[in-house]
Structure 1
């Protein structure tokens, strides 16, 4: 992975952690998530007007991604209802790079250097150490663990689908614009179906943070999709999970969650994993 691509993915990692932090603020998580995805869809509309639709061959990948994303949003917000961000986020993000690497190498036959695979393993080990450090109520709750594990599987799924879909489309920008515009609809429709129009009032009250979260969400994943067309999918997926470091910083400084020694040690292990991948 070239230095410019690596730097772009790190920026995407920060934006991803930032919008996840917004899910824990002000509103119930599912309402905030619906607001963020809808905002990202609105922001992406002008881009779609410029890029045009991706070719028809990419549409099945878009549909698969939208369905996987809907499941991801629901599972992640359920996990956030039962545990701290500092615990849920590492679990949800940590095992996804390993799953993505295994499928990419075994099924797609995309070459990945041994040192890069070692770096991915080190990074995931650090994330696991951070995830299972003690937090609220003495540790991750079973419900939060289950939802976070489902989230990880869905992350791996939509990462692979979007990496392949953008390559099939021949334009990461056309694919991304279409994905965000359409993806802004299903979760909002789900929330309105479950909660009715009463859900709109609190969402309108949080419109400012919602727009900011939508911008961060769009920027983060748009960069990732583009990066997967110019660099190996496993390396992009793993580097993006450095967002765990940014999430920990946000959790401690903004959400006032405790920084425990085990999490600090885990951060150093994650940095070592990132360095190993970068040196390949």
Structure 2
């Protein structure tokens, strides 16, 4: 129960840092600042944390590459669609893929209750993709679903890697110690220092740095939970954050929600909870 509640809380944190990234005047700069905030906290810890066991490194490196692809897809998604549409699509599609891979590759067959959850998620996602907008941007939907694929991929890779690492703390610290600085370097190489900073004020810098800490806490909780439960269950519980994402989109971004989109977000959340049933 403690792990489940922690993962639900992680889902709320994840929605918050995504809203910070989406709401920045320059999303590239927001993601760079998130990486800076993570680097400032995590790099001083590296000398005090043993590296993960050798068996975990292939999974960690593969996850690192997928995480970088995920950030690029997320940037593209937020540039094309509403937060309250893109966020639930990206997050809600991931546990479906994790459940499918777990069933096919790992032999984790879903129960009838879990299958009902899968169907609920599919129905809710269909409504979220179509409701609340006069026109549906197919590019935004495609980018969000590809983001979901990347989420499922790194969830599976990290789920295996953290169990082989010899300790969750070791895997968490070294993953962020590699990912955070590399994210900053890549964005700097793509955009340049001037273009990243020219439109940022002190408030946006503080939000970006704070968002990095929130993002790190959110995924750190998930990695810890993956050592105590199945990947499909953790992935599904985490995505209850889609409700928070829908509320944030309506309240802070003045996005049109409507009764159908609110109901759909709740159906998606109920579905991912059903997926965790045993």
TM-score (norm 1): 0.91
1:174 counterpart residue number:
170
Contact 1:130 1:267 in 2 (8 A): yes
Matched, 1:133 2:131: yes
How far does the alpha carbon of each residue in 1:75-100 deviate from its partner, in whole angstroms, 9 at most, with x for none?
11111111110111112112111111
How far does the alpha carbon of each residue in 1:32-61 deviate from its partner, in whole angstroms, 9 at most, with x for none?
112213322322234434432211221111
Uncovered stretches (5+) of structure 1, i.e. residues with no partner: none
Q: CA deviation at 1:186?
A: 2.5
Matched, 1:244 2:242: yes
SS in 2 for 1:81: helix
- One of 230, 233, 236 as aligned partner of 2:231: 233
Q: CA deviation at 1:151?
A: 0.8
Q: CA deviation at 1:224?
A: 0.8
Matched, 1:163 2:159: yes
Cα distance in 2 for partners of 1:246, 1:38 equals 25
Uncovered stretches (5+) of structure 2, i.e. residues with no partner: none
Contact 2:132 2:256 in 1 (8 A): no
2:100 counterpart residue number:
102
How far does the alpha carbon of each residue in 1:119-169 deviate from its partner, in whole angstroms, 9 at most, with x for none?
24323432332232132xx23312212221221111111010000000111
TM-score (norm 2): 0.91
- Report the number of matched residues: 276
Cα distance in 2 for partners of 1:110, 1:52 equals 32
- Comparing 24-33 with 99-108, greater Cα deviation is found at 24-33
Cα distance in 2 for partners of 1:269, 1:118 equals 11
Cα 1:199–1:61 change in 2 (3 A) is farther
- Comparing 183-192 with 116-125, greater Cα deviation is found at 116-125
Cα 1:222–1:141 change in 2 (3 A) is same
Cα 1:61–1:199 change in 2 (3 A) is farther
Cα 1:204–1:185 change in 2 (3 A) is farther
2:181 counterpart residue number:
185
Q: CA deviation at 1:249?
A: 0.9
- One of 143, 149, 153 as aligned partner of 2:145: 149
Contact 1:94 1:128 in 2 (8 A): no
Cα distance in 1 for partners of 2:178, 2:140 equals 28
2:214 counterpart residue number:
216
Contact 1:35 1:207 in 2 (8 A): yes
Contact 1:93 1:244 in 2 (8 A): yes
Contact 1:110 1:232 in 2 (8 A): no
Q: CA deviation at 1:278?
A: 5.7
SS in 2 for 1:24: helix
- Comparing 259-268 with 193-202, greater Cα deviation is found at 193-202
1:40 counterpart residue number:
38
Contact 1:30 1:74 in 2 (8 A): no
Cα 1:194–1:84 change in 2 (3 A) is same
Cα 1:104–1:62 change in 2 (3 A) is same
2:265 counterpart residue number:
267
Matched, 1:24 2:31: no
